[in-house]
């Protein structure tokens, strides 16, 4: 799978080869109504451990489960909350959004956590995601280079901003174009790991992820009962043995 890289443009961003000059935009108004406080619906699906040794776990997170417990006492259930019952030293190395399913690495001691964290910082960890995007994406392969910043005026949204945003690049390849639902199945390979990166980059592309409550149109949101985003594969160096680890989680949709 070959992903071309687009050069970022000063005071703008690149998408499908076009540069859109927009230094900082708050023009994101598609968020679904958010309950305050937000109480997570019960998640009855179990965490599946796909790899385990004395140093780390690789788990498959179900959609609808937090990675870390929320501040509200009713949002206690999470990947971390469940795992520490059986693995008291377990710590999160990275996270997936509440609605995203798929692979997560869990460290079982501080040394391992630190080593894996550095791999993420050095971008030596590679990940792919499968997503269903609204409509038909015209090009078979492409990249989105658009810096992401917090949208303080519209929490919890992020925004595209070349002034205060951090570099964010997502490559994609079309797998199939569907008529029912009217959608495109793509594989994403992000270079960076910004909050909501694939969700907001899909919106930039003009094809939001189905079921996305933050960045999709009403039509795209109601076309799926969950966020149609799955962390399908991950590769990293084992922090103790140095072996290159590669795991795949079949997409559930």
DSSP secondary structure code for residue 125 in this structure? -
* Angle value at C-alpha 214, between 209 and 215, nearest 5 degrees: 50
63 three-class SS = coil
Considering just the CA atoms, what is the radius of gyration of the chain in Å?
Answer: 18
DSSP state string for 152-201: GGGTT-EEEBTTTPBP-EEEEEEEEEETTTTEEEEEEEESS--TTHHHHH
Q: For the chain, list the strands marked E by DSSP.
A: 13-15, 18-20, 48-52, 56-61, 91-92, 101-107, 126-134, 141-145, 148-150, 158-160, 169-178, 183-190, 229-237, 244-248
For residue 188, which phi and psi values (nearest 5 degrees)? -100, 145
Given 7, 36, 77, 97, the catalytic residue: 97
Known catalytic residue at 97: yes
> Can you tell me the distance from the alpha carbon of 82 to that of 131, in angstroms, rounded to the nearest whole number?
27
> Can you tell me the distance from the alpha carbon of 57 to that of 236, in angstroms, rounded to the nearest whole number?
13
The residues near 82 (Cβ < 8 Å, ≥ 6 apart) are: 47
Catalytic residues: 97
């Amino acid at each position: 799978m070959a992903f071309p890289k687009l050069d970022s443009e000063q005071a703008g961003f690149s998408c499908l080869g076009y540069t859109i000059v927009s230094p900082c935009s708050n023009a994101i108004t598609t968020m679904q109504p958010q309950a305050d406080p937000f109480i997570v619906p019960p998640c009855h699906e179990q965490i599946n451990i796909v790899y385990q040794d004395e140093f780390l776990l690789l788990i498959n997170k179900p959609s609808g489960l937090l990675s870390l417990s929320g501040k509200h006492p009713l949002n206690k259930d999470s990947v971390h909350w469940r795992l520490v019952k059986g693995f008291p030293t377990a710590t999160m190395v990275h996270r997936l959004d509440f609605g995203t399913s798929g692979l997560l690495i869990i460290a079982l001691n501080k040394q391992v956590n630190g080593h894996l964290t550095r791999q993420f910082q050095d971008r030596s960890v590679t990940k792919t995601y499968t997503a269903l995007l609204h409509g038909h994406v015209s090009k078979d392969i492409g990249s989105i280079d658009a810096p992401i910043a917090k949208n303080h005026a519209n929490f919890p949204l992020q925004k595209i901003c070349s002034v205060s945003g951090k570099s964010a690049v997502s490559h994609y390849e079309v797998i199939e174009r569907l008529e029912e639902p009217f959608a495109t199945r793509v594989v994403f390979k992000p270079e960076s790991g910004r909050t909501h990166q694939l969700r907001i980059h899909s919106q930039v592309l003009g094809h939001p992820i189905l079921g996305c409550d933050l960045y999709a149109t009403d039509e795209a949101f109601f076309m799926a009962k969950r966020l149609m985003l799955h962390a399908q594969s991950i590769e990293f160096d084992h922090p103790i043995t140095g072996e290159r680890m590669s795991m795949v989680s079949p997409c559930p949709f």
